[in-house]
Amino acid sequence: MDLLYIFLNIAVLLAVIGLLIWMQKKHYSFSRRVFTGLGLGILLGTVLQLIYGTGSDVLTATTDWYSIVGSGYVRLLMMIVIPLVLVSIIQSIINLENSAELGKMSAWIIGILITTTMVAAFVGIGTATLFDLSAEQIEAGQAESERGTMLETTLGEVQDQSTPDKILNFIPSNIFMDMTGQRSTSVIAVVIFSIIVGIAVLGVRRKKPEQAEMFTKIINSLYAVVMRIVTLVLRLTPFGILALMANTVANTDFAGIVELGKFVIASYVALFVMFIIHLVLVGVFGLNPLTYLKKVIPVLGFAFTSRSSAGTIPLNIQAQKNSLGVDQGIANMSASFGATMGQNGCAGIYPAMLAVMIAPTVGIDPLSPGFILQLVLIIGVSSFGIAGVGGGATFAALIVLSSMNMPVALAGLLISIEALIDMGRTALNVNGAMVSGTISSRILKKLNLKTFNDKTAIEESTSL
């Protein structure tokens, strides 16, 4: 009987996929198909949980089959990340008029990423204070206690890495290993290698222009092929979002959400406030925030459901370049850097909220100027090192809390709502990367305002 139910559940997913294919053939916009997949995924996941219940054998087997579509799509995106980063950054640099432009681009992108992360820390502190969050309000069950113990064990590994060690992890020693994504710092290592190659080509162009021209033609050809692969993979976005959201909702522990509802609400208030700050920044630099918002929503929708900043890189780059009018080189670098440093949600808001919650339990006033200043500075510095230890928000919390000499077990107490909050954090991280690219391009006078203000540009770039 269980097999029959599983078969029916799979048939329902295939039917919804068929609907999305029909919408594509009828030339419905990409954004509409993405949000149709998102909405139907939420509905499907809710129905599955109501019928079978969390943890049932039928639901577990069903979500395993759904993962072929959802997780399979994320894997395809991850597959193309390293080739895309490698080729696109090299191509961007060799098309620069001089290497000085590279320094300006990098400085602005990184500066905006880190500055907004420190602002996000202030938002996290304010929100935790406003909602009067405290570590003492959270009760630990067996799963939470086990997670807390595991994090304390992991903390030893994190503490063993000094800041110089984390910086050294960024530098590639075996680029072929990093191209296989074997290290948590693989993406940024490939970025560094690509920059070195690009600068080398600029040098060769001055002394041996013929060889440089030949290499440039090869890179341009590779870039065209890689971007075509990206286009083919992105055609699957509505289907991937459908399956990812269905699985997420079906497996969500709603009892845990209710129990920790205050923290969930506070987290999303903080994420929303920071998102508004992003839009204000866009407006400050003379751009229409609503136009920006309409063009990035499909990207944020995927980031929200996939919970993968790295997996969003291809869609991020395409949207910045084709929809927002961001310079190609800046789009490539901001998307790549934004997935490995200065993450507003994971490295800014989350550890700041945890620190404020824990501080009173160890006799520290979380509103004292000294505590706030120290916390914000540590978050700004440590946001460079998140990629160095891997694990996203949890490891960001470990680094910050250990640097503030605070217990780290609280991060384990939030295990039941981790996935729900992580969706919003990832969307904010990706938006931070896109804002840094847009503003940097505007400051350096490389933003194509005609493309940015073209309301149809989002359709042209995503009508795949």
pLDDT digits (tens, 9 = 90+) for 66-86: 999 988 988 888 888 888 888
Sorting pLDDT into bands at 50, 70 and 90, what band is 55?
Answer: confident
Write out the DSSP string of 102-113: HHHHHHHHHHHH
pTM: 0.78
Give the whole-angstrom CA distance, residue 237 versus residue 179. 24
Give the whole-angstrom CA distance, residue 228 versus residue 412. 42
Write out the DSSP string of 319-371: IIIIIS---HHHHHHHHHHHTTS--IIIIIIHHHHHHHHHGGGGT--TTSHHH
Give the whole-angstrom CA distance, residue 5 versus residue 11. 10
- Using an 8 Å Cβ cutoff, are 427 and 304 in contact? yes
Give the whole-angstrom CA distance, residue 145 versus residue 409. 8
Q: Which of 34-38, 45-49, 101-105, 135-139 has the lowest mean pLDDT?
A: 135-139
Q: What is the pLDDT of residue 415?
A: 60
Share of the chain above pLDDT 70, in %: 84
Residue 55 host element (H or E): none
Query: Cα 216 to chain center, whole Å?
Result: 31
Q: What is the pLDDT of residue 148?
A: 47
pLDDT digits (tens, 9 = 90+) for 206-253: 888 899 889 989 988 998 898 888 888 888 888 988 998 888 888 876
Span 157-174, average pLDDT = 68
Q: What is the pLDDT of residue 40?
A: 92
- Using an 8 Å Cβ cutoff, are 356 and 124 in contact? yes
pLDDT digits (tens, 9 = 90+) for 127-162: 999 988 877 655 544 444 444 454 545 445 555 556
- Per-domain residue ranges of the chain: 2-462
- Using an 8 Å Cβ cutoff, are 65 and 243 in contact? no
Give the whole-angstrom CA distance, residue 60 versus residue 2. 11
pLDDT at 257 over 90: no
pLDDT at 197 over 50: yes
pLDDT at 268 over 50: yes
Going by C-alpha positions, the residue among 99, 126, 112, 282 that lies closest to residue 199 is 99
pLDDT at 271 over 90: yes
Residue 447 host element (H or E): none
pLDDT at 254 over 60: yes
Q: What is the pLDDT of residue 91?
A: 83
* 29 or 268, higher pLDDT: 268
Give the whole-angstrom CA distance, residue 71 versus residue 376. 35
CA distances from 217 to 21, 63, 223, 426, 453 (A): 37, 45, 10, 36, 32
List, in order, residues 6 or more apart from 79 with CB less than 8 Å away. 233
Q: Which CATH class is domain 2-462?
A: mainly alpha
pLDDT at 463 over 60: no
Neighbours of 412 (CB within 10 A): 20
Span 283-298, average pLDDT = 93
What single-letter DSSP state applies at residue 235? T
Q: Which of 233-247, 256-270, 311-325 has the lowest mean pLDDT?
A: 256-270
Span 33-49, average pLDDT = 89
Give the whole-angstrom CA distance, residue 203 versus residue 193. 15
**Coil, helix or strand for 444?**
coil
pLDDT digits (tens, 9 = 90+) for 375-424: 998 888 777 756 534 456 777 777 787 777 777 666 655 665 677 788 89
Span 244-271, average pLDDT = 81
Average per-residue pLDDT for the chain: 82
**Coil, helix or strand for 383?**
coil
Span 110-124, average pLDDT = 93
Q: Nearest-5° angle of CA 29, CA 30, CA 35? A: 100
